[in-house]
Amino acid sequence: MEITQDSLNNFLEMEIIAHALFEMTFVGFGEKNIQSKLNSIKDSVEDYKNMTDEEKKLKPILLTNY
């Protein structure tokens, strides 16, 4: 993860570390949980791609389990 100079100027080192750890563990610590969430997101994207244009207008975002 790249950290911009802007972030270094505006946030404490501990804040940056806390944000990084949060992002790294957002869906869990275990590989099984991470892969499960990734597969769920991929399935949602595939479902969205298979929608008609009319369905996409009615449901512009299709992410499950959030």
At residue 60, the pLDDT reads 75
pLDDT in tens, 34-53: 889 889 889 988 988 899 99
At residue 11, the pLDDT reads 96
Cα–Cα dist 43/62, whole Å? 10
pLDDT in tens, 11-28: 999 999 999 998 888 888
pLDDT band at 63 (very low <50, low <70, confident <90, very high): low
At residue 7, the pLDDT reads 94
Burial 16-45 (b: 16+ CB within 10 A, else e): eeeeeeeeeeeeeeeeeeeeeeeeeeeebe
